[in-house]
Amino acid sequence: MSTVTTTYKVSGMTCGHCEGAVTEEISRIEGVSSVKAVAASGEVTVTSAADLDDAAVREAVDEAGYELVGRA
């Protein structure tokens, strides 16, 4: 099974709690197998079964209380 890895830029993350909130919300998107959020760089790397809809990722990041800047 092939996977797609996409890195997004997210603004507003400052700590481990932020990373956890973003990870938790993005992990709920169907097809997502792993999420690695790094507050220091503002990058979130998502591995999924298929290319994700940016709108779904934006909604998840918004739900966590942060802003999706775009793909890195």
User: What is the per-residue pLDDT for 35?
Assistant: 98
Cα 18 to Cα 5: distance, rounded to the nearest angstrom: 21
User: What is the per-residue pLDDT for 2?
Assistant: 87
Give yes or no for residue 1 having a pLDDT over 70: no
The model's pLDDT over 11-49, given as tens digits with 9 standing for 90+, comes to 999 999 999 999 999 999 999 999 999 999 999 999 999
pLDDT (average), residues 42-63: 97
What predicted TM-score, i.e. pTM, was given to this entire model? 0.95
Domains of the chain by start residue, with CATH: 4-71 (3.30.70.100)
